[in-house]
């Protein structure tokens, strides 16, 4: 004969199949014994906590149970999906072709500049050539060129010579202004292996882009080739001086390759500006009159 089910206190939960009595939790009492048994079990597992509250707290748990799936619109307890991050915090996984090309060019520029900086220090592979490179640096500095133009104006006794030297002075001043303006806007630092032992430096000279020596070399060489009658060997020497001066800026570690390349381009364009705004006694008589009075 099967043994009857018993509750937690050891008493039978229901009568045998042949018994006519009914227990308080039987369906005859309208109770639904299975439900009360389940609530009693929940109450015994968590003393002091009733069954309905335990069920609510279990549903409020942020950790989903294994095998359970969240239902859409399950009520106020359901969590909304997280908001997407702002645009500035997102990782650009698909950069444009221009950005990739610019970063690659910058990496190549830094690598090549470091490789060509063979005279950057005394212990460099070509450290013994630093005095010659620094002599080239002085030859392309702005102060000697400005002093030379002013001295030539003071010693010149012809209108043609004064006109050429006046425009050379104008070109040098324009070069200083544009280079200082671009350096102040870009603010690119000089190479890390550079030694700040230049001939003369001002505030903007701690920046690298563009190379003022390269712009001045391109401007001066084009000016000389245009307005001075020179033999072919001398013209070749002028061009070589400009190229070697630009190369020496990278070898000394003063500039990167792109600084010198853009400097050459800027200097070439500066002469076009000077040639377009060429100063003569007719379009700028005040300058020539003032200079003659001095």
For residue 6, which phi and psi values (nearest 5 degrees)? -120, 150
Q: State the pLDDT at residue 258.
A: 94
Separation CA 5–CA 14 (nearest Å): 7
Listed residue (256, 143, 150, 260) closest to 202, CA to CA: 143
For 9-37, how does the pLDDT look when each residue is reduced to its tens digit (9 = 90+)? 445 444 444 444 444 444 444 444 555 55
Q: State the pLDDT at residue 84.
A: 59
* Residues whose CB is less than 8 angstroms from the CB of residue 174 and which lie 6 or more positions away in sequence, other chains included: 270, 273, 274
For 91-109, how does the pLDDT look when each residue is reduced to its tens digit (9 = 90+)? 455 668 888 888 888 899 8
**Is 213 marked active-site?**
yes
Residue in the block written with tokens 């009492």? 29
Q: State the pLDDT at residue 285.
A: 78
Listed residue (152, 118, 143) closest to 253, CA to CA: 118
Q: State the pLDDT at residue 205.
A: 77
For 202-236, how does the pLDDT look when each residue is reduced to its tens digit (9 = 90+)? 667 788 899 999 999 999 999 999 998 889 999 99
Listed residue (9, 61, 63) closest to 40, CA to CA: 9
Q: State the pLDDT at residue 217.
A: 95
Residues in the chain where the model's pLDDT stays below 50? 1, 4-5, 7-10, 12-32, 38, 41-42, 46, 49, 52-56, 58-59, 67, 69, 71-74, 88, 91
**Is 227 marked active-site?**
no
Q: State the pLDDT at residue 195.
A: 75
Q: State the pLDDT at residue 211.
A: 93
Separation CA 80–CA 75 (nearest Å): 11
Which member of 193, 213, 227, 282 is catalytic? 213
Q: Alpha helix locations (H) across the chain?
A: 33-45, 51-60, 97-116, 130-139, 142-155, 159-186, 212-227, 232-251, 257-276, 285-293
For residue 207, which phi and psi values (nearest 5 degrees)? -95, 160
Strand partners, 6: 12
- CB 7 within 8 Å of CB 14: no
Separation CA 61–CA 80 (nearest Å): 15
- CB 260 within 8 Å of CB 249: yes
Q: State the pLDDT at residue 171.
A: 95
Compute the half-sphere exposure of residue 4: CA atoms within 13 Å on the CB side of its CA. Answer: 12
pTM: 0.64
Q: State the pLDDT at residue 23.
A: 47
- CB 251 within 8 Å of CB 191: no
Which member of 29, 141, 227, 255 is catalytic? 255
End-to-end CA distance of the chain: 137
Q: State the pLDDT at residue 29.
A: 47
């Amino acid at each position: 004969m099967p043994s009857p089910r018993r509750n937690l206190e050891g008493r039978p939960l229901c009568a045998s199949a042949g018994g006519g009595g009914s227990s308080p939790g039987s369906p005859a009492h309208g109770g639904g014994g299975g439900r009360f048994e389940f609530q009693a079990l929940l109450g015994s597992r968590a003393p002091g906590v009733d069954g309905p509250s335990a069920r609510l707290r279990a549903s409020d748990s942020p950790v989903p149970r294994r095998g359970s799936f969240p239902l859409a619109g399950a009520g106020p307890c359901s969590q909304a999906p997280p908001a997407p991050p702002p645009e500035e915090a997102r990782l650009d996984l698909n950069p444009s072709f221009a950005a990739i090309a610019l970063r690659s060019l910058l990496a190549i520029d830094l690598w090549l500049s470091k490789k060509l900086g063979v005279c950057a220090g005394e212990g460099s592979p070509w450290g013994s050539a630093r005095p010659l490179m620094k002599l080239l640096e002085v030859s392309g500095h702005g102060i000697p060129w400005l002093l030379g133009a002013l001295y030539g104006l003071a010693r010149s006794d012809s209108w043609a010579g004064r006109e050429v030297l006046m425009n050379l002075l104008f070109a040098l001043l324009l070069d200083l202004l544009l280079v200082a303006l671009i350096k102040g806007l870009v603010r690119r630092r000089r190479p890390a292996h550079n030694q700040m032992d230049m001939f003369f430096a001002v505030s903007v000279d701690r920046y690298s882009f563009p190379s003022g020596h390269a712009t001045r070399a391109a401007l001066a060489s084009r000016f000389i080739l245009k307005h001075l009658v020179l033999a072919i060997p001398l013209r070749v020497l002028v061009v070589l001086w400009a190229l070697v001066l630009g190369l020496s800026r990278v070898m000394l570690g003063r500039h990167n390759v792109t600084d010198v390349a853009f400097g050459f381009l800027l200097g070439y364009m500066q002469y076009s500006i000077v040639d377009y705004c060429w100063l003569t006694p007719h379009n700028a008589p005040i300058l020539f009159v003032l200079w003659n009075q001095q």
